[in-house]
Amino acid sequence: MPWDRNQMAARAAQELEDGMYVNLGIGIPTLVANYVGDKDITLQSENGMLGMGPFPFEGEEDPDLINAGKQTITELARTSYFDSATSFGMIRGGKIAAAILGAMEVAENGDLANWMIPGKLVKGMGGAMDLVAGVGRVVVVMDHTNKHGDSKVLKECTLPLTGRGVVDRIITNLGVLDVVEGGLKIVELAEGVTDDEMRAATQATLVN
Amino acid sequence: MKKVYDSASEALDGVLSDGMLIAAGGFGLCGIPELLIDAIVDSGVKDLTIASNNCGVDGFGLGKLLDTKQIRKMMSSYVGENAEFMRQYLSGELELEFNPQGTLAERMRAGGCGIPGFYTKTGVGTVIAEGKEVKTFNGEDYILEEGIFADLSIVKAWKADDTGNLVFRKTARNFNPPAAMCGKICVAEVEEIVPRGSLDPDNIHLPGIYVHRVIQGEHEKRIEQRTVRKREEA
């Protein structure tokens, strides 16, 4: 059985180490926060906050306190606030240990596309280009194939890039892949997924 | 030194002109200068270029200036919440210059600091790098981005004193300080103007040197994505 969204998030949470400052993207990456357990992780919200807390209780929403997805959130005892230039200064400056992001396509050389589909609605890259260029480690969490069954793990991206050669690890519903010299390396298979199934769903070059 | 004005329209008197570049603070609908935007709508000034991370939503925030077709060009990182924006952009009525969010913030900060350009890794190898100078430092490629020097800055803060010292609240700070810094004239709207001496000098987020005019007013502070969690059953 391939992993579901929550299992993918739980697997991604294993990438995080005690003491890390981390940025989580929108979608499945947001769920990663539910699986960090006892690890002391500080979440960054790139609009200008370290120490992001959970959603507020109903009636306690504060319009001045939102995350990068514009959702109402809460602060923690450790929270600090700062302006967006300072926020992206710490991202660009390599102070954020890791970013866990969603993707439309990833290529075997670590190229990432997750911001634009030409001819469709153009929304913008937000902070994604800054994050992938600046943070210590980029982990992508996404479904292995699109809704048509085509691989999203490619030899080359077809969509406009968010960053070139920026991805370190890919976690999908089928397992875990690392970007290495010459292609991708299978690190782990989801329970019940065979090596053949992983290979069949992957367009990118797989190396041993 | 008179910085306190009675209304948004009074504070903008004499500083608006067609074709000008305005830097606006705010992220989504959080910490946006609602009152100054309304006054700019009322002024009828047109052909504006606006540097702002987003462009409000349909009918609120900078979205109001889209409805009245007063904006010629946006410099933004994300415009996904606004159908009228899409319509004007796809029909060619509106120009759009995408900036990665951190690049936009730094371009504003740089402009305010007298830095006309800086090199960044953000966007290397993407469409953002097209037409920009590439320079190699320690074996890595960086692209040249230019500082933004705005004609006018409009920002929202929580509190001000009459000298223009500003204090922001939580994540409503966002783009407001860098946007304020990069304008020739900066007008700030706040929830409360307090007497000189009542803000702690150690806790001023933006010194009054960057702020030329201040108004106080009521803010709607609309929430874009209301997300909550359930209380545990007792």
Cβ–Cβ below 8 Å for B174 and A47? yes
The pLDDT of A92-117, averaged and rounded, is: 96
Percent with pLDDT over 70 in chain A:
100
B111-B115-B117 Cα angle (round to 5)? 95
Cβ–Cβ below 8 Å for B126 and A164? yes
Task: For residue A162, give the amino acid letter.
Answer: T
pLDDT score at B232: 75
- Quick check: is A60 catalytic? no
Cβ–Cβ below 8 Å for B120 and A122? no
CB B113 within 8 A of CB B182: no
Q: How far apart, in whole angstroms, are the C-alpha atoms of residue B28 and residue A10?
A: 30
Percent with pLDDT over 90 in chain B:
93
pLDDT score at B213: 98
Who contacts A50 (Cβ-Cβ below 8 Å, separation ≥6)?
A: A21, A42, A43, A44, A78, A79, A80, A82
Of the candidates B100, B170, B175, the beta carbon closest to that of A81 is on: B170
Q: Tell me which residue of B141, B143, B79, B82 sits closest to B107, measured CA to CA.
A: B143
Q: Which residues of A touch B81 (CB under 8 A)?
A: 70
B107-B41-B187 Cα angle (round to 5)? 50
Q: How far apart, in whole angstroms, are the C-alpha atoms of residue B166 and residue B156?
A: 9
Q: At A1, is the pLDDT very low, low, confident or very high (cuts 50, 70, 90)?
A: confident
Cβ–Cβ below 8 Å for B231 and A165? no
What ipTM was assigned to the predicted interfaces of this complex?
A: 0.96
Q: Report the chain A residue with the minimal C-alpha distance to residue B171.
A: A65
pLDDT score at A53: 95
Q: How far apart, in whole angstroms, are the C-alpha atoms of residue A112 and residue A102?
A: 10
Contact with chain A for residue B76, Cβ under 8 A: yes
pLDDT score at B82: 87
- Which helix or strand (DSSP H or E) is residue A5 part of? helix A5-13
Q: Report the chain B residue with the minimal C-alpha distance to residue A131.
A: B122
Lowest mean pLDDT among A167-181, B26-40, B83-97, B130-144: B83-97
Cβ–Cβ below 8 Å for B86 and A121? yes
The per-residue pLDDT of chain A, averaged, comes to 96
Q: Which residues of B touch A55 (CB under 8 A)?
A: 227-229
Tokens of A69: 């997805």
pLDDT score at A118: 86
* Given the residues A15, A17, A46, A191, the one annotated as active site: A46
Lowest mean pLDDT among A77-81, A174-178, B84-88, B220-224: B84-88
pLDDT score at B26: 98
Q: Which residues of A touch B125 (CB under 8 A)?
A: 111, 161, 163-165
The per-residue pLDDT of chain B, averaged, comes to 96
Q: Report the chain B residue with the minimal C-alpha distance to residue A58.
A: B228
pLDDT score at B23: 98
Whether A80 shows a pLDDT value over 80: the answer reads yes
Q: At B233, is the pLDDT very low, low, confident or very high (cuts 50, 70, 90)?
A: low
- Cα A4 versus chain centre, distance: 16
Rg (CA), chain A: 17
Q: At A168, is the pLDDT very low, low, confident or very high (cuts 50, 70, 90)?
A: very high
Q: How far is B182 from chain A (nearest CA, A)?
A: 12
pLDDT score at B90: 85
Q: Tell me which residue of A37, A44, A42 sits closest to A9, measured CA to CA.
A: A37
Whether B51 shows a pLDDT value over 60: the answer reads yes
Whether B215 shows a pLDDT value over 80: the answer reads yes
The pLDDT of A31-38, averaged and rounded, is: 93
Interval A140-149: pLDDT, tens: 999 999 999 9
Cα-based distances in Å from B151 to B112, B140, B181, B226: 12, 35, 11, 35
Whether A19 shows a pLDDT value over 90: the answer reads yes
Cβ–Cβ below 8 Å for A160 and B127? yes
pLDDT score at B64: 97
The runs of H, that is alpha helices, within chain B are 8-11, 34-43, 63-67, 83-90, 101-112, 176-181
Q: How far apart, in whole angstroms, are the C-alpha atoms of residue B43 and residue B37?
A: 10
Q: Which residues of A touch B169 (CB under 8 A)?
A: 64
Beta bridge partners of A56: none
